[in-house]
């Protein structure tokens, strides 16, 4: 194969990948609830938010700024779109990493329409100069644009139309208090119970025109890590399996067989999760082991292990963080069907987990 052939092949692969991503995004958009009545789960958040929006509509005013925190995939973006829909307002979507300069934020704010909803994802990753500009914009609907440099620089005040900022963050603790305090309503999104995920799966199956039995939905829900986004993604993969390998009907057995093909076990662990546990148990005797060493052992970046695999493993009680490093719990040994070495557990910092 010559260079041109390789280039063409790479380009074709990128196009196929981009097309698949667009298709997934289109499906996800189609499955999003359009109003609070359709939104499943997060009962307290829904009730509180409904009061905030109804009161704003009754006053004919712009809704207060809203801060939504919680793990990825729990519905923060969906709720921002619902807020805009409930208020009959357009929505502008951007993210913290995209705003690296105060001028970037000023350009967005100055183009907003009255009542518009600005959704700022990953708000904790916004640059400090932009963050400081946002304080005044949220409180006074005004920004000062600096023209010039040095002693000759002047600040030109720019009035903004009233708008609603919806900030979303997975790490609320990184938000400075002055920013957090400017939100009129804050909500923390909780992980979903299996019964709630079953309702999400049945709703999505209806929209996708997929036939699914209750036990099939329960099987998928149990492996969805308490997250609707994951539940919908697994549903689509099980649908593919059912269409190719069966008659299209999703039963418990079909769901279990499909998820085994995609390496999602009965507890919801995927390839990366199991790789981390297997390395921790088989290579390092259950730990303690440093995060960087563990990441090298599984062939992943440190950030991937820390931000993707670890939170779920800790929440499931399979892994613990200690001052000396990562340590497997008794539940991890049991889940992989392994026996912890008795002579090792007494001296490696795991005695608190395994007992004396």
CATH of the domain at 281: 1.10.10.10
List Cα–Cα distances, 162 to 53, 93, 205, 301, 344, in angstroms.
Answer: 15, 17, 39, 43, 63
Bridge partner list, 68: 168, 187
137 vs 143, more confident: 137
Q: Tell me what pLDDT residue 84 has.
A: 92
Element (H, E) at 291: helix 291-298
Decide if 24 is inside a domain: no
Q: What's the pLDDT band for 316 if we cut at 50, 70, 90?
A: confident
Tell me, what CATH number does 205's domain have?
1.10.8.60
Positions marked active-site: 76-77, 121, 170, 229
Decide if 322 is inside a domain: yes
Residue with tokens 């009161």: 55
Report which DSSP code applies to 190. Answer: P
Q: Are the CB atoms for 189 and 69 separated by under 8 Å? A: yes
Report which DSSP code applies to 348. Answer: S
Is 231 a residue whose pLDDT tops 90?
A: yes
The average pLDDT across 270-279 equals: 87
Q: Are residues 38 and 169 both part of a single domain? A: yes
**Cα torsion angle, 194, 199, 202, 204, sign:** negative
Is 347 a residue whose pLDDT tops 50?
A: no
Decide if 64 is inside a domain: yes
Decide if 8 is inside a domain: no
Q: Which structural domain, as residue segments, surrounds residue 234?
A: 194-261
Integer Cα distance of 119 and 164 in angstroms: 8
Question: What is the token pair recorded at 36?
Answer: 């609070």
Of the three residues 131, 163, 188, the one that is the final residue of a domain is: 188
The average pLDDT across 120-145 equals: 84
Decide if 2 is inside a domain: no
pLDDT tens, residue by residue, 4-26: 554 555 554 455 454 445 556 66
Nearest to 212 by CA among 235, 237, 240: 235
Q: Are residues 309 and 227 both part of a single domain? A: no
Q: What share of the chain is helix, strand, coil (3-state, %, to 5)?
A: 55, 15, 30
The average pLDDT across 301-330 equals: 86
Nearest to 33 by CA among 68, 74, 69, 72: 74
Decide if 173 is inside a domain: yes
Q: Are residues 64 and 213 both part of a single domain? A: no
Is 354 a residue whose pLDDT tops 80?
A: no
Of all residues in the chain, the percent with pLDDT exceeding 90 is: 28
Q: Are residues 184 and 203 both part of a single domain? A: no
**Domain tally for the chain?**
3
Integer Cα distance of 353 and 356 in angstroms: 9
Q: Are residues 35 and 92 both part of a single domain? A: yes
Q: Tell me what pLDDT residue 10 has.
A: 56
130 vs 203, more confident: 203
Lowest-confidence region among 115-119, 225-229, 257-261, 318-322: 318-322
Q: Are residues 133 and 200 both part of a single domain? A: no
Q: Are residues 202 and 110 both part of a single domain? A: no
Decide if 23 is inside a domain: no
Side-chain half-sphere exposure of 281, counting CA atoms within 13 A: 22
Q: What's the pLDDT band for 204 if we cut at 50, 70, 90?
A: very high
Q: Are residues 246 and 293 both part of a single domain? A: no
Q: Are residues 81 and 116 both part of a single domain? A: yes
Integer Cα distance of 64 and 22 in angstroms: 33
Tell me, what CATH number does 36's domain have?
3.40.50.300
Question: What is the token pair recorded at 144?
Answer: 């000062």
44 vs 143, more confident: 44
**Average pLDDT, whole number, for the chain?**
83
Of the three residues 261, 283, 302, the one that is the final residue of a domain is: 261
The average pLDDT across 138-153 equals: 70
Q: Are residues 174 and 42 both part of a single domain? A: yes
Decide if 135 is inside a domain: yes
Q: Are residues 35 and 150 both part of a single domain? A: yes
Q: Are residues 58 and 182 both part of a single domain? A: yes
Of the three residues 188, 208, 230, the one that is the final residue of a domain is: 188
């Amino acid at each position: 194969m010559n260079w041109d052939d390789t280039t063409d092949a790479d380009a074709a692969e990128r196009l196929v990948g981009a097309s698949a991503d667009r298709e997934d995004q289109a499906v996800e958009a189609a499955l999003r609830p359009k109003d609070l009545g359709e939104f499943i789960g997060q009962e307290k958040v829904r009730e509180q938010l409904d009061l905030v929006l109804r009161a704003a509509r009754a006053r004919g005013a712009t809704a207060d700024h809203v801060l939504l925190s919680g793990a990825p995939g729990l519905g923060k973006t969906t709720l921002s779109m619902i807020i805009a829909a409930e208020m009959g307002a357009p929505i502008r979507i951007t993210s913290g990493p995209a705003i690296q300069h105060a001028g970037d934020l000023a350009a967005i704010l100055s183009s907003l329409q009255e009542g518009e909803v600005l959704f700022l994802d990953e708000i904790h990753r916004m640059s400090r100069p932009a963050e400081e500009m946002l304080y005044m914009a949220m409180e006074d609907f005004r920004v000062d644009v600096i023209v010039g440099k040095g002693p000759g620089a002047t600040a030109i005040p720019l009035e903004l139309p009233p708008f609603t900022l919806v900030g979303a963050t997975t790490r609320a603790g990184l938000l400075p208090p002055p920013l957090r305090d400017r939100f009129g309503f804050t909500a923390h999104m909780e992980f979903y119970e299996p019964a709630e995920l079953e309702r999400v799966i049945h709703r999505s199956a209806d929209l996708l025109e997929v036939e699914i039995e209750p036990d099939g939905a329960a099987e998928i829900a149990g492996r969805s890590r308490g997250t609707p986004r994951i539940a919908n993604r697994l549903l689509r993969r099980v649908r593919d399996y059912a269409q190719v390998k069966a008659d299209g009907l999703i039963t418990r057995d079909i769901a279990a067989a499909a998820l085994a093909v995609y390496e999602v076990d009965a507890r919801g662990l995927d390839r990366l999760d199991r790789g981390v546990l297997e390395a921790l148990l088989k290579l390092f005797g259950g730990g303690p082991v440093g995060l960087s060493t563990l990441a090298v052992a599984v062939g992943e970046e440190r950030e991937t292990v820390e931000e993707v695999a670890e939170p779920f493993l800790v929440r499931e009680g399979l892994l613990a963080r200690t001052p000396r490093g990562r340590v497997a719990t008794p539940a991890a040994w049991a889940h992989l069907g392994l026996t912890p070495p008795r002579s090792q557990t007494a001296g490696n910092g795991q005695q608190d987990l395994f007992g004396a």
